[in-house]
Structure 1
Amino acid sequence: MRQCCLLIIACMTVLCSYAQQIHGRVADAQTREALPGVSVRLCHAPNGSTTNSAGKFDLSATPGDSIELSYMGYIGLKMPAGEVSAKSVIYLQPSSTNLNEIIISSARDQQPRTSAPVAISTVSSQQLNEAKPTTLDQVLNKVSGVYMVDLGNEQHTMAIRQPIGYKSLFLYLEDGIPIRTIGDFNHNALIEINMAALRNIEVIRGPASSLYGSEAVGGAINFITSAPALVPTAKVQLEGSNWGYRRADVNISGTSGKVGYVFGGYYANQHNGYMDHSDFHKLALTGKIVYQLNDRNKWTNAISYVDYQTDQIGGLDSAHFYARDYKNFQTFTYRKVNSLRIRSTWDHTWNKSNYTSFTAFFRNNTIGQNPFYAIKDIRGTLNANGQINSDGFNSYGIIIQHKKQFNWKQAALIAGVSADYSPASFWADYINITKDADGYYRSFVRTDSALTNYNVGLFNSAAYTQFEFVPVERLKVLAAVRYDRMDYNFTNHLTPSAYTGAPSERNNFNALTPKVGLTYDLMNNRGLYANYSVGFAPPNISELYTGVKVPVLKPATYYNYEVGGWLGFADSKGYIDVSAYYMKGSNEIISVRNADGSYENRNTGATSHKGIEWNVKYTPIRSLFVRTSGTYAIHLFKAYADGTKVYTDNQMSGAPRWITNTEITWKPQLIKGFRIGAEWQHLGNYFMDPANTLKYGGYDLFNARIGYEWKGFETWINAMNLGDKLYATTAEKSAYGATYRVGPRQTFNFGIAYTFTGK
């Protein structure tokens, strides 16, 4: 017996002498970023490992072993253990049909999609790379429930669970930080986003004020910038179109020791487009340095800069629109944007149960313009008047957040505080405009008459907390609440007789916004969720301080009730994600005409919004990918009157019931790197005015994309509006008549890129 035991020990010793320690690194195949938390295990043994914050792992294996790598949202990989050391990096491919991807926006922290009781969608890095968008609407309109309105040259407005409009009902963030200060909303804010620096985009539909505060009513869009690549990577991209659009992108990224770096930017220029006076240029640059001191401490510093200028074009009347007459009667209107954002974030992991992040940020922003919409004709003459104006602010802010996990019912608590001080200024000068006999506004003279000149000290402070736990198996419950206080210190530099002659004063607003939600896992990639949430939007400074007096206003409040669910198909071939909501708006700010003919902002509006949203992704065969998303919604006025005109129970203007986007992509196995796809965008009809007297018929657009990658090279052609459809991105009717914003004509974007990847 003793001899037998010695023989077994000897054999084990021999086998162990052949065991080897293998070292590997794991990264995302699309972005080349390190993937922490990847599970790495031997196929025929219980032992395994997990990649650290730098994507590295160590594992003992014997000759002939194989390893399996798995990570949520990625396609699993199996390979011989002996090949690991031969590879400098192991790349995992993101799964385009995976239901349970990792998201961060729903709780300001990483979590699986199926644990979030909210309607949230992701535009992945793969979608961004394959779509090659020249404007953000070309990818955001793929998201269910989203219609981003193209107003030309990256100008835009938004409709998410709301009609097409220009109010401060949407919150835009970059890496979780609002890109503009609260109280100074601009519907064109996404001009300030650097598309070349994005890793992915997350879209929350419905109120998100319990975590993010004001303006997150219809939705919140979080633009997540690229992280440093694990290996040295450089990309150069050139593209152009048949309408004079030219663009050059550059991206450089890598990691050296504990320091990672990433730089991305682009320069775009439009000249001689299909409409008169429609040129623009934009320079966007983003840099980021990440210092990973150890597994517990990470310091991230980022800077983003945008310099943008565009000719402004207005809408066309019905005669010019339907005649395809693309004349622009404004010849000197413009918009200029300069935006600088700097942030510094320290992430510290105290232990397995406690994590803290501290962020300090600075913003500098100026929008100067000679706006077309301010031009007013002087009846009976060839003269008009208008204005030149400038809106700017600086921001100094902090966000501190802590997460605590408990050894009870899988409970977790997130708590945070934030403060943002943003001194803002606005001025507008009167101009005299000369018009010719053909209706063109040819020239203007700036006068010494100041219409508006004021400063506002904006201070927003907030505290929020969110608690979640699992009271019974497969049921997760979440409760969140946030308190915001907004202080406006208004100083007017003009006399009471001026156009803006309101007296200097202080105003403050506060709001308590709760949220309660739950998710229930039905197993086998099926689940349900429900939530109740509240969103709010305080008065904008332009709503308060334009006129001869400051109106008494309260924040508009929205109450949202929502249910939804998801179902994954067998063999991970895709999934269905559905949500239904009912939202009531109260104290909405509308402009009311007084008996003397003047207009005044009041909290007299109320609305209701209800709809169903869906998103379906399916891969019937390995090379074919099908996606369809959309919404059916009804938006009604519940209390709305303009003077003697009452619009209660009318459909809201600019509110199509149907919005859908469907796409099919083929990647043949026999031609590796080749892809071809077709897309159908449908927008239903809608009323153009609150009185419901005129409808716009909506439109159907067809786009096609083709691309090919080979050994670092890539080329593509995107055909947008393939049938050269005449359509309006938005159509409105006012007392002056109907106005149509012309959608882009048939456009062919073509480009070439080269990516260098080191080892």
Structure 2
Amino acid sequence: MKSFVFSFLLLLICCISTAQAQQTLTGHVFDAQTNEPLTGVNIILPGTSIGASTDKAGVFTLTTKEPADTLAISCLGYESARICCMGKNQVSIALKPRVLNLETMVITASRTAQARTQTPLAISSLSARQLDETKPTLLIEVLNKVPGVLMVNLGNEQHSMNIRQPMSYRGYFLYLEDGVPIRPAGLFNHNALIEVNMFGVNSIEVIKGPASSIYGSEAIGGAINFITQTPGNTPSVKAGVHGDGWGYRRVQFTASTPVNKKLGIALGGYYARQRNGWQDHSDFDKLSINARADYLLNENNKLIASFTTNTLDTETGGSLDSTGFYGRNYSSLHTFTYRKVQATRARVTWQKFWNTANETQATAFYRKNSIAQLPNYAIKKLRTDLSRAHGEINENTFQSYGLLAQHSKTFSFLNAKLLAGLYSDFTPSAYTANYISITREPNTGRYINFINRPDSALTNYQVNLVNNAAYLQWEFSPLPQMRVVTGVRYDRVDYLYDNHLPVSAFSGAPDGRNHFSFVTPKIGLTYDLGKGAGLYANVSAGAYAPGVNELYRGVKVPTLQPARFNNYEIGGWATGLENKLKAEVSLYQMNGTQEIVSYQLPDNSTENRNSGKTLHRGLEYSFTYTPTQELTIRFGGTNALHKYLVYATTEGTDFDNHVMPNAPAWIANSEITYKPTYLPGLRLMLEWQRISRWYTDDANEYTYADRTLFNLKGVSALNLRAAYSIKNVELYTNITNLTNELYAHNVTRSRWGATYNPAAGRTIAMGLSYTFTGKKP
């Protein structure tokens, strides 16, 4: 009995000693700039094999037998860190993103997080740091930093896009918000980025080239994914004001807070107004609000609810003729033209992490949009009576109900991964237009008032749009250094068309149904050469279903076929000079068939037609060099050729082997950033935007080739940005078009001559922001 009692006491003492020796350390890891939690961060106790990783909320738990005094933290895309944790049982760790980093994570290529170096396509990211340091007035100012991207400023937040295509109004570009298209296929609007709130965005990813194998129609020239802010681990608020010398004023804010251990909320928005600007008839008001809530049901289930609303009410002054442009006379002939935009989106996402190998994600989404306008481009003066003109008022509305579901599964065999997804979108849409009679001053040419004629309908139809799709992606590593990615998507797009006007030569098509279906495959691979270098190659297909307006709007309804594209691409990346230099290069050729173009008819009207064959070929490149901690030099650009191979019209005009209009051969953007260590908080950035000359007509008879900065033809302009931070306050100034160059963002030509969308002269903007960061509850 004594022996038993002695043994029991000895065992109890050993257990107590062991328990006393163990230490449990918990903590959370977050992005130092955005306060967003970081998943998959590695935490190691140096000199041991003891470690842990953060979960979906950025939280980790580490148990050691001996008291820990130091932790080593590492995460893909962030600077490694060591922290002292002696005597602590809870820590908070903020990681800084790497300035030069090839191992960033991207999510747009496959709708799931993966290393950039395992993605066999041209994809670029704009980080939260880049967005914050640019302090843009418009999204144009940050997107044009991406090599191969030119977002064209058409004034009053109107724009068009150029990614592996000419400057285009066509629906060859897909705009996404957290992987969900902001508009349904078939209802593309070249001004769609009006509907994005830049203060609800954390980062932007840009895929260049066809991404139809996972995103379907419109993902041809490129896909731009706006990734919204996620709630941070600590309460934070950032508010500011911004304005320029031309009457632009803006107030903005972002806010984020954890409500408790399971719920977090993020908000962002701004109100902007323009009054008495440099260009006549250009006043506007815009309000944008984003809200997001993340709720952790448990460690394996998460709900994300998101809401976005954008309202724009703007005058539209229109473009200038050559006399007004070269005379810097920015008055407008229009006194009443306008555009009113209302765009609302809501979605709920459920994420289920079944285990380390299986993940399911399902998103239900809703959209409601309206664009009402009296467009200046629809106003036509009467040749027989110079005191009269005619035009139209039109409105396009739609509502969408959709579902996106995807499951991913990883396998130990060849480190393989399978993605399977379904997409369904039902969108009732309506379009109306009616005639207006306009009074014109014969001497000045100004359009001074109008009489609405709602009884004189030009267009009145409804289209129920249905897009159903399924996709698969399979990736694996036959060699440790190689990653192979294959994918395919099937799309069917149906238009159920109901014409509310009597069928006649002037009222469009009879009721009917159009449907388009296509399969878009891809295959690509990456190869890691080691020492921060690698190669990739891909072959991909893209398809574009003709849009609703292309099919049904106007007095004629042309028979259009889907445009199809085959893309062939090779590229690579490398680091050098002791990791101070990063370079990325891609070479592509995209062959288009049945590409849709606007053909100008003898009466100066236009009609949509399939063009035959086109060629798009280019070299994209970017170089970032950080010789010292204080200095960063970035240079990126694209040299491209866009031409018609076969383009013979029914009227006998032959544009075969002509360069496509609005297709500059060289686009470049470079920037020098200086952050002196002797004056912490100061930031200076000098940016150069370069666009070479371009043809303005299909026949290649006319060119926009004005000489600008450095005596270069086309566009050459400098932008200067400066900022200084003191604790939580930041004061900044942006000077765009520093040398006050005269140049046009866009030039179009008709039989009546050229029209110009002018760039603003030297513009000085200033702003002030304040950041408050609280403690984790």
TM-score range, shorter chain: over 0.9
Distance 1:595 1:78, change over 3 A: closer
1:442 equivalent to 2:448? Answer yes
In the aligned structure 2, how far is the partner of 1:334 from the partner of 1:409?
Answer: 58
DSSP 3-state at the match of 1:100 = coil
Q: Given the alignment of the two structures, is residue 307 of structure 1 paired with residue 311 of structure 2, yes or no?
A: yes
- Picking from 205, 227, 231, the partner of 1:228 is 231
Q: State the alpha-carbon separation in 2 of the partners of residues 499 and 288 from structure 1.
A: 47
Paired with 2:356 and 2:22, the residues of 1 have a C-alpha distance of 31
SS of the residue corresponding to residue 646 of structure 1 reads: coil
Distance 1:629 1:513 in 2: 30
Correspondent of 1:172 among 149, 172, 175: 175
Report whether the alignment pairs 1:656 with 2:672.
no
Distance 1:594 1:221 in 2: 34
For the pair 1:668 / 2:671, whether they are aligned, the reply is: no
Give 3-state SS (helix, strand or coil) of 1:268's partner: strand
Amino acid at match of 2:114: Q
Q: For residue 532 of structure 2, what is the amino acid of its counterpart?
A: N
Aligned counterpart in structure 2 of residue 545 of structure 1, from 538, 542, 552: 552
Q: Distance in 2 between matches of 1:143 and 1:322?
A: 30
Is the 8 Å Cα contact of residues 181 and 422 (structure 1) preserved in structure 2?
yes
Q: Equivalent residue of 2:186, what SS?
A: coil
Query: What CA deviation, in whole Å up to 9, does each residue of 1:213-259 have, x standing for no partner?
Result: 00000000000000001111111111111111100112221112200
CA distance 1:599–1:571, shift in 2 (3 Å): closer
Contact 1:592 1:641 in 2 (8 A): no
Q: Is the 8 A contact 1:141 1:148 kept in 2?
A: yes
The amino acid of 1:475's aligned partner reads M
Q: Classify 1:252/1:414 alpha carbon distance in 2 versus 1 (closer, same or farther; 3 Å).
A: same
Q: Distance in 2 between matches of 1:350 and 1:581?
A: 39
Change (3 A) 1:136 1:252: same
Out of 597, 601, 619, the position equivalent to 1:590 is 597
Q: In structure 2, what is the Cα distance between the partners aligned to 1:95 and 1:423?
A: 45
Confirm or deny that 1:421 pairs with 2:426.
yes
Residue 699 of structure 2 is aligned with which of 687, 691, 708?
691
1: CA distance, partners of 2:140 / 2:480: 41
Alignment of 1:103-252 (within 5 A): 103-252=106-255
Give the match's secondary structure for 1:230. coil
Equivalent position SS for 1:272: coil
Match of 2:708 in 1: none
- SS of the equivalent of 2:507 reads coil
Q: Does 1:339 align with 2:343?
A: yes
The alignment status of 1:458 with 2:465, answered yes or no, reads yes
**What amino acid is aligned across from residue 767 of structure 2 in structure 1?**
G
* Contact 1:451/1:498 (8 A) holds in 2: no
1:312–1:641 CA distance, 2 compared to 1 (3 A): farther
The reply to whether residue 622 of structure 1 matches residue 608 of structure 2 is no
Pick the aligned partner of 2:515 from 498, 503, 508.
508
The alpha-carbon distance between structure 1 residues 501 and 17, as it changes in their structure 2 partners (threshold 3 A), is closer
Question: Deviation of residue 336 (structure 1)?
Answer: 0.7
Query: Which string of whole-angstrom CA distances, capped at 9 and with x for unpartnered residues, describes residues 52-72 of structure 1?
Result: 111122224555732111101
For residue 410 of structure 1, what is the aligned residue in structure 2? 415
Give the total of aligned pairs: 749
Tell me whether 570-579 or 388-397 shows the greater mean CA deviation: 570-579
Q: CA RMSD in A?
A: 1.9
Contact 1:300–1:344 under 8 Å retained in 2: yes
Counterpart CA distance in 2 for 1:153 and 1:547 is 26
- Structure 1 84/499 Cα, relative in aligned 2: closer, same or farther at 3 Å? farther
CA gap of 1:85–1:310, structure 2 versus 1, over 3 A, is: farther
Change (3 A) 1:475 1:126: same
Q: CA-to-partner distance for each residue in 1:589-638, whole Å, 9 max, x for gaps?
A: 23457799986533233210100000111210011111111000011111
Is 2:563 the partner of 1:556? yes
Distance 2:106 2:87 in 1: 32
* More divergent stretch after superposition (452-461 vs 497-506): 497-506
Offset, 1:731: 1.1
Q: 1:524 aligns with which of 520, 531, 537?
A: 531
- Offset, 1:712: 1.5
Q: Does structure 1 retain, via aligned residues, the 8 Å contact 2:312–2:342? A: yes
Aligned equivalent of 1:681: 689
SS in 2 for 1:544: helix
Does structure 2 retain, via aligned residues, the 8 Å contact 1:590–1:605?
no
Please give the alpha-carbon distance, in whole angstroms, between the structure 2 residues aligned to 1:734 and 1:717. Answer: 40
Letter paired with 2:379 = I
CA gap of 1:204–1:84, structure 2 versus 1, over 3 A, is farther
Residue type of the alignment partner of 1:667? K
Deviation of 1:12 (Å): 13
Q: CA deviation at 1:709?
A: 1.8
Match of 2:767 among 742, 746, 751: 751
Shift of 1:11: 13
Query: 1:357 — aligned with what?
Result: 361
Q: 1:631 to 1:523 in 2, by over 3 A?
A: same
Could you tell me how far 1:14 is from its partner in structure 2?
8.1
Write the distance in 1 (CA, Å) between the matches of 2:717 and 2:109: 32
Deviation track 1:308-358 (CA, whole Å, cap 9, x = no partner) reads 111112211112111111111111111110001010000001111111111
Report the CA distance between 1:668 and its aligned residue: 1.2
* Distance of 1:688 and 1:586 partners within structure 2: 22
Distance across 1 between alignment mates of 2:739 and 2:595: 40
Q: Which runs of 5+ in 1 are unaligned?
A: 1-9
Q: Where in structure 2 are the equivalents of 1:611-650 lying within 5 Å?
A: 611-642=618-649, 643-650=651-658
Question: What is the rounded CA distance, in whole Å, between the counterparts of 1:85 and 1:625 in structure 2?
Answer: 39
Residue 17 of structure 1 deviates from its aligned partner by 4.8
Q: Counterpart of 2:413 in 1: which secondary structure?
A: coil
How far off its partner does 1:83 sit? 7.7
Deviations 1:361-420 (A, max 9, x none): 000000010011101111032211110000110000001100011121011100001110
Spell out, residue by residue over 1:689-709, the C-alpha distance to the aligned partner (whole angstroms, 9 max, x if none). 111111112111101111122
Identity of aligned pairs, percent? 47
Distance 1:628 1:593, change over 3 A: closer
